Structure formats: C-alpha cells, structure tokens
Structure 1
Amino acid sequence: MSKTILAFGDSNTFGTPPMLDRDSNNSRYEEAIRWPMVMQKYLDPYWQVIEEGLPGRTTSLADPEMGDHMNGQIGLKIALASHGPIDLLIIMLGTNDSKIQFGLAAEQIASGLASLLNIAISPDMQRKHDNFDILIITPPHVKEKNALEKIFFNAAKKTAELDKYYSKLAARYKVGKINAGDFIETSETDGVHFDPSEHKVLGKAVAKYILNNWP
C-alpha cells in the first residue's frame, strides 16, 4: 500500500535556482534536481511525493508586494484540502520570514511555524487524512550577499538561530525534525537558494531520515 508525502515549503521546495538578479525569479530546476524528487528517488517505491513549494511563502505572513497568498497558513489549509490522504507532512519554511520588511526575530518566526503545526494537528485535519505524521526541516541559514542582500539584511543571524527554536517546537509537538544546515548550505550566488548539488544532498538526507523513522 502506497504512502504519500506532502512537501510544503517556499522557493527552495519549488526549485528556484540561485538568482543573479531579482528579475530571474521565474526559473525552476528540472524535476530530477529538486530535493523532494531526489528524496522520492531514494525512498522505497511505495512512497509518493507531492511538491507544494511556492516562492516567497512565509509561515504566517502576507507579503505586501507578493500577495496575501504568501501566508503559509492559507497555503497549508488549501494544500491539505486539495491532496490526500497523506501520511507525512514535511514543512521547510522560515527563510522568507527573515526578510527585513517583516522585522521578525527568530523566536517570532518559530511562532509562525507553530501556527502551521496547530493547523496540521487539528482534529479535523488529522481525521480527514486518517492521521498523518509531521517532519520539520530547519532551512540552512541565509548569507547576505549580491542580488538578495538588501531584502535579507540581518537575516544571517536570525536564520542561524532558527534551529534552536524549531528543536523546541519539535519536542513540544512530538514531531520529527531535521536541520538542513547540518547537510547543506545556501548558494554563494545569492545566499538564499540551493545549488543542484545541495538539492541532491538534502533529498538523500531526508529520505534516510524518513526510512529510519517511518519504515
């Protein structure tokens, strides 16, 4: 019997390549490069992966430029209503919350992630999917450089602190957690997105974690 994974995230789940300038944000890696599909490759055949990545998505914030739908609370409710039943929800978010325009500290970003966990563990959602597990992935920390430096001003420090708070959430909610920064780093090109090699490493690492914890 097959099992379904919903990978919910931002541009790094969508597969946006590192940006040379802000006008190049419509690009996308091929399916074979993107980490959720790499993960699919390394999982047993009965696991099916659904990609739900949206560039610009935050945990719980509307973006004044990109729109209200960047709020992950809206997106998660739609995704869980659109797909299913699922067996595992993976959430990798928090990078966009660290943008200078939002003015959030790491602990506040973690509160946004907690709001998504509350949606996911709600009785209605769990009942709809006949119960599913949750895995948090802490994104690797931002490097403030080049085309995205101004947007992510002071984000390096905030995102480097995220895993401390995400670990506390994982313990409180009794969900799985991986720190992507233990395996990969953001590109030297824009300091936010992943190079192809990092997608491969992350996909393989997440697959290994899943097979070890949900065989």
Structure 2
Amino acid sequence: MSDVKTILAFGDSLTWGADPVSGGRHRFEDRWPSVLEAGLEGSARVIAEGLGGRTTMFDDHGAAADRNGARILPTLLGSHYPLDLLIIMLGTNDLKPHLCGTVSGAGSGIERLAEIARAYPYGRDSAVLQVLIVAPPLFDEAVGGDWQPVGGSSIAESQKLAPRYREAAASCGGAFFDAAAVAVASPVDGVHLDAANTRAIGQALVPVVRQLLGLG
C-alpha cells in the first residue's frame, strides 16, 4: 500500500489560479496547490478542485456551472476517495452582496463544509479525514474607476473572515491557516492574486501540511 498521502484542495478562483492582469489563468507551476505538492517532495499528491465564483453553500443562478460548494463537495469526496486531508479556502464569493454579503454566512458555510467532510460515508476501514480551513487573503482597494474590490464586496467584511474561520476550525476539530499572513490581493481588482502571492500560499502551507500529516 502506498505511503503517499492524498490531499484535496477545494476552493474558488484563488485555487483555480485566476490571473487578475490577463484575465486568464496562472501557469500550472504558479498555482498554490501545485506549489504545495512540489514542496511536499513526493510525500503527497494534491488534487486541485478550484472553480471561479464558488461559494461555501450559496447558489449563484447566473453562473454556467454549479458554484454551491456544499452541493458539490460530497461528489468530490466520493470521486477522489481515499483522502487524507481536505483543504478548504472559500468565502471570497460569499461576500458578494447579491449572494450573501456577510462573514456570518461565510462562517456558517465553512462549518457546513467541514460537517459534510466529517459525516461522509467513507469506507469501513477509513481514517477520519483531516480538515484544514484556510481564510483567504483580505480584499483591498482596486485601482481605476471603482475603488471597490471586484464584485462590490466589503473590505471590512473580508477582515472578519480569519477570526471567524479560526473559530469554525476549533469547533469542528480542524486546523486553521490565515492566508492573509503571507499573501495580498492585487490592486488590479482588489481580490485576485498575482503569481508571486499565489505561490506564497502554497509555500506557506508546506510546513503546516507536513505537521498535520506527520510527514516530518
């Protein structure tokens, strides 16, 4: 049986690797799940499941794809089973005014995702899946005609995500990491990350994941 661990990185456009300058996608090697896997040096593989606009548990009926994280997570847990660690970095899109707009909703959504991960009917001999909740980087003022972050979300609400997520992690028995400690949003749109800040998240998570999975 392989000793290589399997990690599911569940997120939105920040996990997908959205480039605020080009409007496209960062190179594969610059996306944080890729950087994390490289830093783990063969001891784990990281499955990147990022979708632009994804929320914790809120519907966005104007989107072409299902962005409700709580609805799609059970499918992903089943299709990628067995897993050793689930990393969740969501909440940025919850703060869009037309979807939720508050950290209270995002916090409840994160707790729901952790609950889904814990309660999923894995195989009989499966260990309990570990969960790492990551608070996304803070919103910042965007340059240009409109100073607000793209989507009209509140900078002040984004500043409340980390303490709320830390609380959620403690209540569900999961681990917590604040991506705002290592990454800042691009001034192009006040939300997305340039390549350097995207890589910084993956690099910072390496020792966190090593400790959680006992990789030394």
- Using the size of structure 1 for normalisation, the TM-score is 0.90
- Residue 83 of structure 1 pairs with residue 80 of structure 2: yes
Name structure 1 gaps, 5 residues minimum. none
Corresponding residue number in structure 2 for 1:15? 17
**Rounded Cα–Cα distance in structure 2 between residues aligned with 1:107 and 1:128:** 36
Q: Structure 1 residue 157: deviation in Å?
A: 0.8
Q: Provide the secondary structure at the position in 2 that maps to 1:32.
A: helix
Q: Structure 1 residue 75: deviation in Å?
A: 1.9
Tell me the amino acid that sits aligned with residue 47 of structure 2: I
- Residue 94 of structure 1 pairs with residue 96 of structure 2: no
Contact 1:62 1:68 in 2 (8 A): no
Q: Structure 1 residue 112: deviation in Å?
A: 0.9
Which residues of 2 match residues 103-114 of structure 1 at below 5 A?
103-114=100-111
**Rounded Cα–Cα distance in structure 2 between residues aligned with 1:150 and 1:204:** 26
Corresponding residue number in structure 2 for 1:136? 133
**Rounded Cα–Cα distance in structure 1 between residues aligned with 2:19 and 2:83:** 28
- Residue 158 of structure 1 pairs with residue 160 of structure 2: no
Corresponding residue number in structure 1 for 2:174? 175
From 117, 120, 138, the counterpart of 1:120: 117
**Rounded Cα–Cα distance in structure 1 between residues aligned with 2:100 and 2:112:** 18
Q: Structure 1 residue 30: deviation in Å?
A: 1.5
Contact 1:11 1:57 in 2 (8 A): yes
Q: 1:2 to 1:68 in 2, by over 3 A?
A: same
Which residues of 2 match residues 40-55 of structure 1 at below 5 A?
40-55=37-52
Contact 2:33 2:46 in 1 (8 A): yes
Superposition RMSD on alpha carbons, in Å?
2.0
Q: Structure 1 residue 123: deviation in Å?
A: 5.0
Larger mean CA deviation between 175-184 and 127-136 belongs to 127-136
**Rounded Cα–Cα distance in structure 2 between residues aligned with 1:189 and 1:202:** 19
Number of paired residues? 210
Q: 1:190 to 1:136 in 2, by over 3 A?
A: same
Q: Between Structure 1 and Structure 2, which shows a larger proportion of helix residues?
A: 1
**Rounded Cα–Cα distance in structure 1 between residues aligned with 2:74 and 2:125:** 12
Q: Structure 1 residue 178: deviation in Å?
A: 0.2
Q: Provide the secondary structure at the position in 1 that maps to 2:74.
A: helix
Q: 1:189 to 1:45 in 2, by over 3 A?
A: same
Corresponding residue number in structure 2 for 1:187? 186
**Rounded Cα–Cα distance in structure 1 between residues aligned with 2:46 and 2:37:** 6
**Rounded Cα–Cα distance in structure 1 between residues aligned with 2:103 and 2:123:** 28
Q: Structure 1 residue 119: deviation in Å?
A: 0.4
Contact 1:98 1:158 in 2 (8 A): yes
Tell me the amino acid that sits aligned with residue 197 of structure 2: E
**Rounded Cα–Cα distance in structure 1 between residues aligned with 2:46 and 2:177:** 18
Q: Structure 1 residue 44: deviation in Å?
A: 3.5
Q: Provide the secondary structure at the position in 1 that maps to 2:66.
A: helix
What percent of counterpart residues are identical? 34
- Using the size of structure 2 for normalisation, the TM-score is 0.90
Tell me the amino acid that sits aligned with residue 49 of structure 1: V
Corresponding residue number in structure 2 for 1:196? 195
